[in-house]
Amino acid sequence: MSAPKAVVIAGPGTNRDPDTAYALERAGADASIRLISDLADDPSALRSASIAVVAGGFSHGDALGAGRLLALDLETALSDHLGAFVDNGGLLLGICNGFQVLTRAGLLPGSLTHNEAGRFVCDWVELDVVPDSVCIWTEGINGPIHSPIAHGEGRWVHDDPTTLAANGHIALRYLGTNPNGSVDGVAGVCDTTGRVLGLMPHPENHVVSRQHPKAGRVDPDAHLGLHLFRNAVERSRG
């Protein structure tokens, strides 16, 4: 069986695109990094892919608000293609800045704003996988996922998180400390189809056990962020 194709979508200032491509490769995908401008010129890479990830970073330097300008680029250049990609069963993920982009572009519910503490924070967090979520990316993952976070605008807010949760759109919650003040400790949300997920933490930076800061005292394999990418690859293989 051939490896499913995955596209890592990048723009000016995206910086975790290589990490994301590596995670996808490690999960068994055939991944390539494409700039939004590349995809606008030639959308075939997106058409032939079954997985797409808007990678993290500081697109356009976060000027005028995190993700705002890249969301505009995405909507201007790729809106129809991205819509078709999801409608045709593609799996779309936005990580950190990519999550900010997808909420700004209206593909995911809620907004992301400045961390409650008012500062960028880099740390490791534990993520509870919400069991009754409709999210395909997190489907069947039991143990908490451990991942680093690195963001200044990661506080997710929404007017009605209860209904979202009831409908299974909350996919991931912070276990223990809520690092940014997100409503209900939400770390990741999905759309109504369950195929589009956004999250602030960086599962792409926990794909081998030695990346875990407490390797030796916990069993990192049970908590790898890689599980998310494996799920997507398995699902794409049908």
Partner 1 sequence: MVQDYRLTIRSTSPDPRAEAIHRTAGHLGLICPVGLAVADVLHLRGDLTNEHLEILANALVDSRTQTSSWAIPEGTAVEVCALPGVTDAAAAALLHLSAVLDIPVSAAASGRRYEFPADTGPDVVATLIHRLLSNPVVETWSYGTAQPSLEIETLPVSPATTIDITNLDADELEALSRERGLALDVEELQVIAAHFAELGREPTDVELETLAQTWSEHCAHKTFRATIDLLDGNGLVVDHREPLLDTLRRCTEDIAAPFVRSAFDGNAGVVEFDQGITIALKAETHNHPSAIEPFGGANTGVGGVIRDVLGMAHRPTAITDILCFGPDDLPLDQVPDGALHPSRIADGVIDGVADYGNKIGLPTVAGAVVRHPAYTTNPLVFAGCIGTSRNWQQQRGPHPGDRTVLLGGRTGRDGIRGATFSSLTMDATTGSVAGASVQIGNPITEKLLIDALIGAEHLYSAITDCGAGGLSSAVGEMAEDVGADVELDRVPLKYAGLEAWEIWLSEAQERMVVAVPAESMTELEQRCRRHGVEMTDIGHFTGDGRLIVRHGGTPVVDISTRFLHDGRPRRHLMATVPNPNRVDTERAGVDPSVALLALLAHPNLNSREPILRRYDHEIGGATLGRPIIGIERDAPADAALLAAPADSTGIAIGIGVNPLHGLADPERMGWSVVDEAIRNVVAVGADPDRIALLDNFSFGDPRRLATLGDLVAAVDGCTQAARSFSAPFVSGKDSLNNEYTGPDGHRHAVPPTLVITAVAHVPDLTHRPTPTLQAPDNLIVLTGTTGIHFGGSHLDEVLGQPSDAHGSVPAPDANAPARYRALHACIRAGLVQACHDLAEGGLAVALAEMCIAGRLGVSLSALGHDDAITGLFSESCGRHLIEVSSEHLAQVRALIPESTVLGRVTAEPVMQLPGGTQIELAALVTAHTGRGVQSV
Residues of this chain that interact with partner 1 (CB under 8 A) are 12-13, 15-16, 18-19, 22, 26, 35, 37-38, 57-58, 60-65, 68-69, 72-73, 76, 104, 110-111, 113-124, 148, 150, 157-159, 202, 204-208, 210-211, 213-214, 216-217
How far apart (Å, rounded) are the C-alpha atoms in residues 81 and 177? 38
233, amino acid identity: V
Least distance from partner 1 to the Cβ atom of residue 189, Å: 14
CA distance linking residue 78 with residue 43, whole number of Å: 8
Task: Give the active site residue among 146, 169, 202, 223.
Answer: 202
* Residue 204 bears catalytic tag: yes
Q: Tell the smallest beta-carbon distance from residue 157 to partner 1 (Å).
A: 6
Best CA proximity match to 28, nearest among 10, 49, 6, 48: 6
Select 202 or 227, whichever has its Cβ closest to partner 1.
202
DSSP letters for 211-226: GSTTBTTB-GGGG-TH
Active-site choice (60, 126, 158, 204): 204
User: Out of 96, 190, 206, 212, which one is annotated catalytic?
Assistant: 96
Q: Strand locations in 97-169, DSSP E?
A: 111-113, 121-129, 145-151, 155-157
- Whether 135 sits among the annotated catalytic residues: the reply is no
Residue 122 known to be catalytic? no
Residue 69 vs 130, nearer CB to partner 1: 69
> Distance between CA 99 and CA 189 in Å, rounded?
9
